[in-house]
Amino acid sequence: MREGLLQTQPLASSGTRLSVNAACDPGGYVKVEVTDVNDAPMPGRTRDDCDAFTGDAVVHTVTWRGDPSVPMPDTPTPRFRTPYRKLRFILRAARVYGFRLHDGLHR
């Protein structure tokens, strides 16, 4: 079974947690990689670091080796004055209906 890939455009958000609305078929999963605007994965936030989601949930907090924090890039890039991030979703036999970057205080 092949993996699918969905990548966002650069996102401007101060959110430090990522929640997804997703559903996986048997043997399926969702993983998320956080990158900078140049598509370089952020340390500790690669697909290999991501704890695969294998269920069906309206709100699931994505974690990387148990850590739910979504880091901000250290500095803005020359092209963008604000430190933007991108999300790369890796899917196998799964569907993502939505996602949200938020402050972690609310669901």
Domain that holds residue 20: 4-102
pLDDT digits (tens, 9 = 90+) for 22-63: 999 999 999 999 998 889 999 999 999 999 999 999 999 999
pLDDT of residue 101: 94
Residue 107 lies in a domain: no
Distance CA 107, CA 11 (A): 20
Cα distances from 106 to residues 19, 37, 65, 66, 100, in angstroms, run: 11, 27, 22, 19, 11
Residue 41 lies in a domain: yes
Residue 88 lies in a domain: yes
The CATH number of the domain holding residue 97 is: 2.60.120
How many structural domains does the chain have? 1
